[in-house]
């Protein structure tokens, strides 16, 4: 599984990471209390735990926007060219 990512420049309230989630697995996946990080040049810029009400069927892609709330990111950092990562196992 991997992400194609387009981010919105951070405001004082949120960072909106618009992504296309590609499930290349042979089974359906869902997110439940999954910690996601947004890293820039191997430095974590934002992190938050998400539980979106979605199931991504095997061998499909789905658009989703992960919204990092205020307090979960450093607004003083450069925002472009980051990578969205899932920490731990996906269910």
Pair of tokens at residue 19: 């992504």
CA distance 41 to 27: 32
What is the arithmetic mean of pLDDT over 73-83?
69
Q: Write the burial class of residue 80 (CB in 10 Å: 0-12 exposed, 13-18 middle, 19+ buried).
A: exposed
Q: What is the pLDDT of residues 6-59, one digit of tens each?
A: 555 555 678 888 888 888 889 998 888 889 988 878 888 889 999 888 889 999
Pick the residue with more confidence: 79 or 18? Answer: 18
Residue 42 makes CB contacts below 8 A (sequence gap 6+) with none
Architecture, CATH, for domain 2-87: Sandwich (2.60)
Q: In the chain, what are the domain boundaries?
A: 2-87
Q: Which residues pair with 4 in a beta bridge?
A: 20
**Position 76 confidence tier, pLDDT thresholds 50, 70, 90:** low
Residue 60 has pLDDT above 90, yes or no: yes
């Amino acid at each position: 599984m991997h992400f194609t990512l387009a981010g919105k420049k951070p405001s004082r309230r949120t960072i909106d990471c618009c992504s296309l989630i590609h499930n290349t697995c042979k089974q359906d996946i869902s997110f439940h209390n999954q910690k996601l990080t947004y890293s820039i040049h191997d430095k974590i810029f934002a992190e938050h735990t998400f539980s979106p009400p979605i199931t991504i069927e095997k061998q499909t892609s789905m658009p989703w926007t992960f919204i990092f709330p205020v307090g979960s990111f450093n607004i003083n950092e450069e925002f472009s060219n980051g990578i969205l990562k899932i920490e731990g196992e996906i269910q």
